[in-house]
Structure 1
Amino acid sequence: MLESIYIGMSGLTAYAKGLQTISNNVANLNTAGFKTSTPGFADLYYGQQFARGEPGAMNTMQFGSGVEYGYSSLNFAQGDLRVSNGQLDLAIQGKGFLTLLDGDTARYARTGQFAVGNDGFIEDKATGLKLAALSASGSLGPISLAGKQISPPQATTVIRFSDNLSTGSTSFSIPDVDVFDANGGKHTLTIAFAPDSSIVPGRWQVTVSDENNIPVQQGTLQFNGGIPEPGRDRIDFTLTSADAPPLTVTLDFSTGVTGFSAGSFSSLRVSDKDGYGTGTLSSMNVDVDGRLVLQYSNGQTDELGTIALASFANPQQLVQQGNGLFDASHASPPQYRSSNGAGVGQLLAGATEASNVDLSTEFGQLILIQRGFQASSQVISTANEMIMQLFQMRGQG
């Protein structure tokens, strides 16, 4: 009967640990990225005693030694995806894990809220671990904004035009044409057109003036049958500045420009031009392919790499560590993929994943564990009463 007491005590110990697991699940109801654990129990070592042999029966009897709290499995079911305001709040719809670097050690998470740290690396706000990305060669490394805060300028080299310059116009001009020099300085030009058909039909005098309305250069545009004549459909001009090297720009009328009569109305316009000034980083976002895209105030974009998603053959080998992190020290090495790659889901920006705690399931488990605890307690009470009865019988003898 003493063995029965010890068996009952093993039940109390095991169910107390099961209650601890359920309590932890319920307490993390609102913890982003949390995955519940399902408690598991295992029977203990069986001893044997010899019994009187009977035909067709074993001559031993087996007695168990109780129960222990066994392996608790993680439930990786998808949690609810919730929209957030952070540009770098990340969640995964489907399988896979974000990869976070703690020095040379990798940790994994289902969701996270990230920001640019003081050292320029993108890191998790809660843990300070650095978000990892895949390079072009497929290697893994932290994402750094070093040298990416500024978008360097590019000088304007060509201005392209389209639409019609009517032969009936006595004058026409296109104001507020912005060009940029090699240092990012902006120069606002006016391009004026005056007919010069007294010498050759279809000829126009083109004058480029700076922001002070001072002519910079003049050139000739020639139409032949309403189409710019090859060799006379481009005009080069050079703009000088005290703060930058001389800027040479080509006015290109070769494609999409016509010179037909439309009365006094001309629709000629700038259709395209290159060059831009210095830009500062204005926003960051993650596209559908998991690439981290930088956007600058000058309209330019840049990419920092593809955020790495880890795919594990057996996620049950991961160990939940707190702060939404998982340790993979005892797991097989993962495969790293981009968003929507083999074995991983889609990476979502501006979203977080809620915990996958289901209160109805947890309360059902809670009732079962409570009943097990009560039953084990009853076994101990019954064994104790039987021992007391033995002591009383001895005293009466």
Structure 2
Amino acid sequence: MLSTLRNAWKVPDLRKRLIFTFFMLVMFRMGNFILVPGIDQSKLKAMTEGASLLGFYDLISGGAFSNFSIFAIGITPYINSSIIFQLLTIALPSLEQLSKEGEEGRKKIQQYTRYAAVLFGVFQAFGTYFIITRAGALQDMSKLNMFLIILTLTTASTFLMWFGDKITENGIGNGISLLIFINIVSRFPKTFAQVVLLPQQSSDGINIVQVVMFFAIVAALFVATVIMSLAERRIPVQYAGKTVGGKMYKGQSTHIPVGVTASGVIGIIFAMSVMQFPGILGQIWPNSKFYLFISGSKYSVFRDGTWPYTICYFLLIIFFTWFYTEVTFKPDEMAENMHKSSGFIPGIRPGEPTADYIEKVLTRISIFGGVFAGLIAIIPMIVATSTTFKGIYFGGTSLLILVGVALESVRQIESQLVMRHYQGFLK
């Protein structure tokens, strides 16, 4: 990776893109420290501790939610809108047809996604206002202040969409993903300092050996995440020879790569939303029997930190990973396109048998990837709740996001170097 960045720095055009990306990310982080006045931050920080849904939002916002800066809701409205439109593209024939119309169709869907993200931003800003109100963190309860807070959060979220698009166009990598990446990285120094200072500050008898073991577990999870992010199941495809314009072309052998953890992050986000939604909904009626059961009963699967919660969370991650893979990949369409191009899987008959084979492979890969994503998600929870490292939470989800964004950015830099025939890279 370092050699790739060094080689990219030698190319003037790529050097400009790298510098542009760096300064845009610096400006973005500066915006995270522009606070919304009249908010009691101590009460918000207490709500975002641990592996809760609000804690996850605070993680991908780089602490902007707990500090309640203008970027408190971050780019989550755009992320939600993108996921919803990706699913609607498969469910609605009109959007599916639009997605097949090439670049213009994709631009149209992207435009719809941005419009919907603004609406989601308004709803999420209102929900955020309701949360801080219920938490007692808001000092001014006037309607004018409510309007100003919702307007500020929505405008800042819309600005981040434009900000991410500019990084994608003039910088390196996907702008939206890089914003999430830099937010997660910004939390590392604080977590590192907390762990290092535990032997002096903790009353649980934590020693330096336990701290070293903690870092060893984190390093092992990181290495496993890198390996699984690079792992893929390759479905072999053979294309028959054909004659074009009187010239004979030989057959070619290739493959269809299927990433093992391609849908892992989506599955974790869906599972986390399902597990945390009843608790957030119950906060509307804090004295109801429903909220008292899900928050106080030791048998409740919605109580964070309990074994029923962890097991149910793990199973939901596997289910949503499998579900998202089944929805996004279309074995019938893949088999049809393969047949039209005179391609076939060795040993498998074209048509329906090919579609069944691809579906079987996707099912196995999605379940395996879901199990790995589930382990990555629950191991930090177990460490944070069942060991002496209570209160120290490092998200397994953040590892998947960090590794995925880093690998994708490196691939884009390498492709740019190959396009420019950079010999230093080719050697």
Identify whether the pair has TM-score above 0.5, normalized to the shorter chain. no
Which TM-score bucket, shorter chain as reference?
under 0.3
The structure richer in strand per residue is 1
Compare relative contact order (CA 8 Å, sep 6+) and give the higher one, 1 or 2.
Answer: 1
TM-score, scaled relative to structure 1: 0.19
The structure richer in helix per residue is 2
